[in-house]
Amino acid sequence: MMIPAIDLIDGEVVRLYQGDYQQKTNYQYTPLERQQAYANAGAKVMHFVDLDGAKDSSKRQLATLKQLVNHPDMIIQVGGGIRCEDDVKQLFALGADRVVIGSLAIKQPELVSEWLSKYGSEKIVLALDIKIDENGNKTLPTHGWIKDSGVNLEDLLAQYQDAGIKHVLCTDISKDGTLTGTNVSLYQEVCDKYPQIHWQASGGIGSLEDIKALVPTGVKGVILGRSLLEGKFTLEQAIACWPSK
């Protein structure tokens, strides 16, 4: 499944290069226009990141998000600076179908596991940004990739499996925003090891060939951000690359 992604700052469509707010690109259409174009092209799930909320949860773009989350034909998942349960409740109250949780999922897995039990596995998406060292260790930096959490992927997932985690958005941070191809071997490995998880592959998609390379891995979704915004291919073309079943 193709999952178009839109990052938002001050109600505008933007992209950051490898999470750096100083390397920002603005695009000349509104989030609503872009969302409707993706819906018309056949998207069934969309991913929004509130970058203002990620910096400061008191500055969450609620007015913009409210326009976007109540879509009749798409499942909408929203992330960006989820720091407490009130943030989760706020997004669900707006109408979001799924809440995406990043740094907090790494720092407080017991708390987020409670939310999984409370709201259900369809409602929570873990966003795990992975840094792979020369020995193949998969660590999980937090706070915009600045801080080393000291946590590795396998240990974290062991905690969440018992809580029934279903959706994990996984980004190889060395690939994010680069359009240079995705880490196929990473997704093959995690899908083989954790087949019960619906993996969303994110980072590096720059061509239709990059999408096709992910088909055999078993990922359930492919996040498409910059590649669609910059017209590397159309969403219709991307969807046509993916098996319908």
Residue 98 corresponds to which amino acid? R
Mean per-residue pLDDT of the chain: 92
pLDDT for res 149: 65
d(CA 84, CA 108): 10
Active site residue 97: no
Which of residues 173 and 7 earns the better pLDDT score? 7
pLDDT for res 147: 60
Tokens 């592959």 map to which residue? Answer: 201
pLDDT for res 245: 66
- Which range, of 13-17, 42-46, 82-86, 182-186, averages the lowest pLDDT? 13-17
- For the chain, how far is it from start to end, CA to CA, in angstroms? 9
d(CA 153, CA 141): 10
Query: pLDDT tens across 193-217, in order?
Result: 999 999 999 988 999 999 999 999 9
The rounded percent of the chain whose pLDDT value lies above 70 is 95
Query: pLDDT tens across 64-74, in order?
Result: 999 999 999 99
Handedness of CA 93, 94, 98, 104 (dihedral sign): negative
Active site residue 129: yes
Average pLDDT of span 221-226? 95
Band the pLDDT of 181: cuts 50, 70, 90: confident
pLDDT for res 209: 97
- Which range, of 12-21, 60-69, 165-174, averages the lowest pLDDT? 12-21
Query: pLDDT tens across 98-150, in order?
Result: 999 998 999 999 999 999 999 999 999 999 999 888 888 888 877 555 567 68
Longest dimension (CA), the chain: 46
Superfamily of domain 2-241: Aldolase class I (3.20.20.70)
d(CA 87, CA 162): 24
Residue from 52, 129, 172, 176 carrying the catalytic annotation: 129
Residue from 7, 50, 52, 172 carrying the catalytic annotation: 7
Tokens 């492919």 map to which residue? Answer: 222
